[in-house]
Amino acid sequence: MEQEKLREQLQALHRELEKVECVDDTTARVLSTLRDDIRNISEKQTECPSAEDEPLMERMSDAVGHFEADHPKLSMTIKHLLDSLANMGL
């Protein structure tokens, strides 16, 4: 059940990322990193979260702050994903 919820949240995050248009260099880097992270999480869905994923969690937390003002829905989606990952033991 948690894996299914995680997959759905990853898809929601991907959709929100695709909606972000006009971006500066910093935002472009954050978006690129988030896309890579989504792909990596999706590929590892059969595995349990591990301590190796902590930098991922930090990057996602930083992204929440980066997008909070201009892209609140994207920020909220990232927060939900972080909560799910935390519930899985990360």
State pTM to two decimals.
0.75
State the CB neighbour count (10 A cutoff) for residue 28: 11
Examine the pLDDT at 10 and tell me if it is beyond 70. Answer: yes
Q: What angle do CA 75, 80, 81 make, to 5 degrees?
A: 95
Question: How far apart (Å, rounded) are the C-alpha atoms in residues 89 and 41?
Answer: 14
Domain ranges of the chain: 2-87
pLDDT, tens only, 39-81: 787 777 555 555 566 788 888 899 999 889 888 998 998 898 8
Q: Residue 53 has what pLDDT?
A: 64
